[in-house]
Chain A
Amino acid sequence: MRYINKKQIIFSSIFFISSLVAEENLFDEDIENLLSIKTELKATIGSRDGARDYLTSNSPVDVITNQQIENSGLTSLTDVLRYFVAGFNAPETSIADGSDHIRAYTLRGMNPDQILVLINGKRVHTSALLHVNGIIGRGSSHVDLDNIPLSSIDKVEILMDGAAAQYGSDAIAGVINITLKGIGYSNKLNILSGIRKAGDGKQRQSDLFMSIPLKYDGFINITLDMREQNPTQRAGLDYRLEVPRVTTHVGILDSKDYKAILYSEVPQDNDINIYSQLLFDYKESKASAFFRPSSDKSISLYQDGFLPIIKAKITDSTILLGVKGEIYDSISWDLSNSYGLNHFHYFVEGSMNYYLDANSPTSFDNGSLNFIQNTTTLDLKKDESKFKIAGGVEFRYENYQIKAGEVASYIGTGSEGYAGYKPENEVNKHRHSYAIYVDNTYNFTKKFVFETALRYEDYSDFGESTNGKLALSYKLTPTLMLRASGSTGFRAPSLAQSYYSQTSSFVNDMGILTTQGTFRVDHEVSKSLGATDLKSERSQHVTMGTVFRPNKKTSLSVECFYIDVNNKILLTPEITATTPEQQEVFRKYNVSAARFFTNAARMTTQGVNLKINSSHNFQNGSNLDVGFWYSYSKNDNKKSTDISLDGSNTARVLYEDGQPKSSLRILTDYKYKNIETTLNISRYGSYYQMLNENIYKFDAKWTTDINIAYDFTKNFRLSFGGINIFDTMPNRWDNLDGYLYGTNGIEQYSRYTPFGYSGAYYYLKASIKF
């Protein structure tokens, strides 16, 4: 009874407060004040009916603004989302081959290939890289968010709901829409320099945003971004050596990144607007494999052992051209074509091929991965006062290629650290798909909004998929809105998942060269183990929540969600032949172990998102913004079979417990006269990793970030701050006695660590507007 009374008091208070909302007369404000008032934050994602207050969306949407990004001192979009979005996870990995070079990320605990990424509402192509190591995001290819210069971004919208019925494949965990800066932004130069508390990991970054105005509010916006990142070193001593020393690189990798983006809109006299988005990114990065101690195999070239360095040269480009216009006053149309290319080229340096002994080169060209996506879209939209109807058609072409490396990189045992792609790994596969979709929003009354979406797609390789979405919102009072949505979704298996293969060879105990690695699903070896053609992942989503706005600067939203993904595609561990039939096939190809992609699991994700945003203008003219965001999500495999497929719990732990289930972000920004202070506190929940058949727990941790900026003039700002300023470090492996992974081993921290293990980072940043 006592508890019920408490609840009654709480809810009565909320309704009492909401009844106190008073309309002030804005007309009494002077013009300068009116122009400094912030309007509602708008988002376009989640519905095709145009920009609207993100809190009134039928589905949960959140927005990160360019001011938040600028006040963070962060230099990559993946980090921005990691620090601002509870439920977004992006661990930093080491000694994970290609995965060290393009960071995987998850949303609500779900894989990166279940997140659709858009720029200005247009689909972005994924990277050619497929994560095949034991990292968060294993088995997926995804958009490399770090290709986009932060200074070009106006805001980032995150839809926390399934939306395949609106946007097509991949929109299962959510949709990230990056809106680029349009008209009205000042030219700006940023120069940043930072360093880790440990004295390493120096970072130098500079970017330039320039806007050239054109007739009728047209513009050409150009952003250039350059970043140099020195490595951090958090490796333990190598106790395999007689005199232990640090031999391997563990930490943030050494990289150089050059980005450019051109975004233009050229309005014509007749309501036609020609637009383009040209993005280019070139990245070079170096990560290490484990150190190879001196041995008979390497003595011919390396007396004291050697450290293979895996080098990646990654080129990414997008050319999007479009034209949009209006027919009459209420029908708009938009025709665009986007060509995207990602090229990932592997090199290995400081290594050797044991098979070639003294004749081995020490540097290798290990081959490359290539992914091309071309999307042509026509959108139509009719806007009436009571209803909005949108629809369109889309044609998409995709091409995936693997090109072999030089012979020395794969012959025999191949280059140490990372063996080159072999001619038998080479592939050049393509597919196409078309889609037709319709999205309708109907305002029954001022209080009740009803939205439906339906999308049909046909893929040349795996067939058709029809998905629907139904979303409702109802304003119970002027301050309290209830909303719910239900939808179906799908994710087409990527071409990489269907056609990727990489095998390496080694000399077994009997002195025979034998092969193991990743095999295509259509390979006889995979088929002998039960592989079949991949089917699309199918999902169902339910989201229910409420938004409470007791006044215009305070909002509370709570959303509960449940997602059921059937036919979840996983990469198996390396499996050996057990039956006579399997052994015969393995012998035929001289294979000792194989892994392949398969529709292995039925995963459910359920959880809750709670967010409070508030802003306060004090009488002294200062302003305080506070955001409180808590996210909880739990993944479960509902299939009775062991998703690890080898009797171990490795995959179960990775997918169910490898990420924090809960996360919390407290974001504050205080501005007074020329000083602006940003203080962000994050909590990352506990997580687990399995190694050598044992499960290890890593504790929840808090981190704190701060940025203090001073405006010397209207056009010159100096900022200093730090990320993880109290130098929070994750737990080391608990009582794990291993040379490579262990409490005192080379890699002492889990590669699942959600906030990295490089410690505190401090920076100084100058911003000049001109």
Chain B
Amino acid sequence: MALFKIIFLIFIIFTSLNGYESEAKLKAVIVGKVAKYITFQDDKGSKEFVITIYKNKCANTFDNIYKDVKINNKPVKIVYIDNIEDLGYTNVLYISKVNSATLSKILEKTKNKNIVTISSNRGFAQKGGVIQLYFVSQKLKLKINTQSATQKNLKIGSTLLRVADIVKGDKV
């Protein structure tokens, strides 16, 4: 009984604490967060900041996070697509896990467009994506392909570059 009391006491002490985040939620937050550090040259005067999700695998995580959020003083609109041909105007394109052929198609489709492509697909930054997300020891890390960003006429702020690993083109 004494052991049970000790366990319960320890348990109560630690039940008002901060939380570990799920990888999916943190990725969803970062997708919009990085956009705050990027200057878009070609926003076509849109009244909304558009984030497009290709092959959503996160249920309604994006909707929940961006419900009342503004990016660059614009309300956020989340668009879900399953076919890259359906890609309309967007500031950010988040690509869920896809195979190489599909990824090549997507990168070709968005080439030279003023869109921040983000994905956690392996080798994404070297393959021409702008921002790659990956996890090491339970922490999120970023890889930014500055050459891709320049080609897309995106200006990435120094704060973001400072916290990311820089990839230049397809070089290791």
**What sequence of 0s and 1s flags, for each residue 20-54 of chain B, a beta carbon within 8 Å of any chain A beta carbon?**
11110110011011100100000000000000000
Q: Is B83 an interface residue (CB 8 A)?
A: no
Q: Are A216 and B14 in contact (CB under 8 A)?
A: no
Q: Are A26 and B122 in contact (CB under 8 A)?
A: no
Least CB separation from A42: chain B residue: B23
User: A216 contacts which of B33, B123, B138 (Cβ < 8 Å)?
Assistant: B123
Least CB separation from A269: chain B residue: B100
Q: Which residues of A contact B151 (CB under 8 A)?
A: none
Beta-carbon contacts under 8 Å, A28-66 to B: 29, 31-32, 34-42, 53, 65-66
Given the interface pairs A185-B136, A215-B126, the reply to whether A17 lies near B15 with Cβ below 8 Å is yes
Given the interface pairs A35-B139, A215-B123, A612-B14, the reply to whether A183 lies near B134 with Cβ below 8 Å is yes
Q: Which residues of A contact B73 (CB under 8 A)?
A: none
Beta-carbon contacts under 8 Å, A304-345 to B: 326, 328-329
Q: Which residues of A contact B69 (CB under 8 A)?
A: 27
Given the interface pairs A38-B20, A39-B138, the reply to whether A214 lies near B172 with Cβ below 8 Å is yes
How many of B's residues come within 8 Å of A, CB to CB?
53
Least CB separation from A617: chain B residue: B18
Q: Are A615 and B17 in contact (CB under 8 A)?
A: yes
Question: CA A289 – CA B138 in complex, angstroms?
Answer: 48
Question: CA A41 – CA B26 in complex, angstroms?
Answer: 14
Q: Is A357 an interface residue (CB 8 A)?
A: no
Q: Is A590 an interface residue (CB 8 A)?
A: no
How far is the CB of B108 from the nearest CB of chain A, in Å? 14
Question: CA A26 – CA B30 in complex, angstroms?
Answer: 9
Least CB separation from A327: chain B residue: B99
How far is the CB of A548 from the nearest CB of chain B, in Å? 9
Of residues A29, A216, A329, which shows the largest number of chain B Cβ atoms within 10 Å of its Cβ?
A216
Q: Which residues of A contact B29 (CB under 8 A)?
A: 26-27, 29, 34
Question: CA A40 – CA B29 in complex, angstroms?
Answer: 15
Q: Are B34 and A40 in contact (CB under 8 A)?
A: no
Q: Which residues of A contact B142 (CB under 8 A)?
A: 35
Count: A-B pairs, CB below 8 Å: 147
Q: Are A328 and B99 in contact (CB under 8 A)?
A: yes
Q: Are B26 and A39 in contact (CB under 8 A)?
A: yes
Q: Are B139 and A36 in contact (CB under 8 A)?
A: yes
**What sequence of 0s and 1s flags, for each residue 122-153 of chain B, a beta carbon within 8 Å of any chain A beta carbon?**
11001100000011111111100000000000
Least CB separation from B136: chain A residue: A184
How far is the CB of B3 from the nearest CB of chain A, in Å? 8
Q: Which residues of A contact B66 (CB under 8 A)?
A: 27
Q: Which residues of A contact B8 (CB under 8 A)?
A: 10
Q: Which residues of B contact A737 (CB under 8 A)?
A: none
User: A614 contacts which of B14, B22, B57 (Cβ < 8 Å)?
Assistant: B14
Q: Are B172 and A213 in contact (CB under 8 A)?
A: yes
Q: Are A39 and B15 in contact (CB under 8 A)?
A: no
Q: Are A217 and B122 in contact (CB under 8 A)?
A: yes
Q: Are B7 and A38 in contact (CB under 8 A)?
A: no
Q: Are B138 and A41 in contact (CB under 8 A)?
A: yes
Q: Which of A394-402, A469-477, A552-560 interfaces with chain B?
A: A552-560
Q: Which residues of A contact B159 (CB under 8 A)?
A: 31
Question: CA A655 – CA B30 in complex, angstroms?
Answer: 54
User: A553 contacts which of B18, B98, B122 (Cβ < 8 Å)?
Assistant: B18
Least CB separation from B126: chain A residue: A216
Q: Is B63 an interface residue (CB 8 A)?
A: no
Given the interface pairs A34-B29, A550-B15, the reply to whether A39 lies near B21 with Cβ below 8 Å is yes
Question: CA A270 – CA B12 in complex, angstroms?
Answer: 52
Question: CA A26 – CA B127 in complex, angstroms?
Answer: 30
Question: CA A31 – CA B172 in complex, angstroms?
Answer: 25
Question: CA A184 – CA B136 in complex, angstroms?
Answer: 6
Q: Which residues of B contact A20 (CB under 8 A)?
A: 16
Q: Are B14 and A38 in contact (CB under 8 A)?
A: no
Q: Which residues of B contact A215 (CB under 8 A)?
A: 123, 126, 170, 172
Q: Are A40 and B141 in contact (CB under 8 A)?
A: no
Q: Is B163 an interface residue (CB 8 A)?
A: yes
Q: Is A640 an interface residue (CB 8 A)?
A: no
Q: Is A267 an interface residue (CB 8 A)?
A: yes
Q: Are A553 and B30 in contact (CB under 8 A)?
A: no
How far is the CB of A552 from the nearest CB of chain B, in Å? 2
Q: Are A610 and B100 in contact (CB under 8 A)?
A: no
Of residues B15, B97, B127, B160, which shows the largest number of chain A Cβ atoms within 10 Å of its Cβ?
B15
Q: Are A39 and B140 in contact (CB under 8 A)?
A: yes
Q: Is A551 an interface residue (CB 8 A)?
A: yes
Given the interface pairs A13-B12, A53-B22, A626-B14, the reply to whether A27 lies near B32 with Cβ below 8 Å is yes
Subset of 15 A-B contacts with CB under 8 Å: A13-B12, A17-B16, A27-B66, A37-B21, A37-B140, A39-B135, A40-B23, A67-B137, A215-B170, A216-B122, A217-B122, A270-B100, A329-B55, A554-B14, A630-B7
Other CB < 8 Å A-B pairs besides A34-B29, A38-B21, A616-B18, 15 of them?
A13-B12, A20-B16, A27-B33, A31-B34, A37-B21, A38-B138, A39-B23, A39-B140, A40-B23, A183-B134, A184-B134, A216-B122, A218-B123, A329-B98, A616-B14
The 9 A-B residue pairs with the shortest CB-CB distance in the complex, in nearest-first order: A552-B19, A216-B123, A614-B14, A184-B136, A38-B138, A616-B17, A271-B100, A26-B29, A553-B17
- Residues of chain B whose beta carbon lies under 8 Å from any beta carbon of chain A: 3, 7-8, 10-12, 14-23, 25-26, 29-30, 32-34, 37, 55, 57, 65-66, 69, 97-102, 122-123, 126-127, 134-142, 159-160, 163, 170, 172
